[in-house]
């Protein structure tokens, strides 16, 4: 898609609907090539990693909203993947304030309130890079244990 990614799924009995989608977006040859194994190319099935580039090229001219509408019009299931900014800006996220940025960190809290107060706020910073403390850990070991 021009502005991100969407999910693409059909139920096992919806082969004709999937073929109709493929025909509309120019994937007739792809559909012919996968034949009866078509279901392995949607959702989280076995051949999705192989099939994904085909779908992405065919849907590249659409926005996420357009692609979702197109897939749903053919009876498939589709939802847009959202960026962290979109998730945090969603009305439900704003209502519950369960995830928010502040002071350069992500803050998370349980989405319920007791006596009107939010509960269990946790702050998370970026984890140190792999190996950042290797020398300190090795130096703390008794002599001969670091090999």
pLDDT over threshold 70, residue 46? yes
How far is Cα 63 from Cα 81, in angstroms, rounded to an integer?
12
Share of the chain above pLDDT 70, in %: 78
Q: How far is CA 57 from CA 24, 53, 107, 122, in A?
A: 13, 6, 37, 41
pLDDT on residue 73:
97
pLDDT over threshold 70, residue 69? yes
pLDDT over threshold 70, residue 72? yes
95: pLDDT confidence band, cut at 50, 70 and 90?
low
Crossing angle of the two packed helices 64-73 and 15-24, in degrees rounded to 10: 140
How far is Cα 38 from Cα 21, in angstroms, rounded to an integer?
12
Sheet containing 105-114: which strands, arranged edge to edge? 99-102, 105-114, 117-124
The two beta strands, 105-114 and 117-124, are antiparallel
Which range, of 8-17, 18-27, 37-46, 119-128, averages the lowest pLDDT?
A: 119-128
């Amino acid at each position: 898609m021009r502005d991100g990614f969407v999910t693409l799924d059909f139920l096992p009995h919806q082969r004709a609907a999937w073929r109709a989608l493929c025909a509309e977006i120019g994937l007739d040859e792809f559909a012919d090539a996968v034949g009866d194994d078509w279901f392995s190319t949607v959702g989280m099935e076995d051949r999705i990693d192989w099939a994904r580039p085909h779908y992405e090229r065919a849907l590249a001219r659409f926005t996420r909203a357009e692609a979702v509408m197109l897939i749903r019009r053919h009876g498939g299931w589709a939802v847009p993947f959202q960026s962290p900014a979109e998730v945090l800006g969603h009305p439900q996220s704003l209502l519950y304030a369960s995830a928010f940025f502040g002071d350069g960190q992500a803050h998370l809290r349980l989405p319920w309130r007791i006596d009107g107060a939010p509960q269990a706020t946790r702050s998370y910073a970026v984890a140190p890079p792999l190996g950042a403390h290797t020398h300190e850990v090795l130096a703390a070991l008794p002599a001969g244990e670091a090999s």
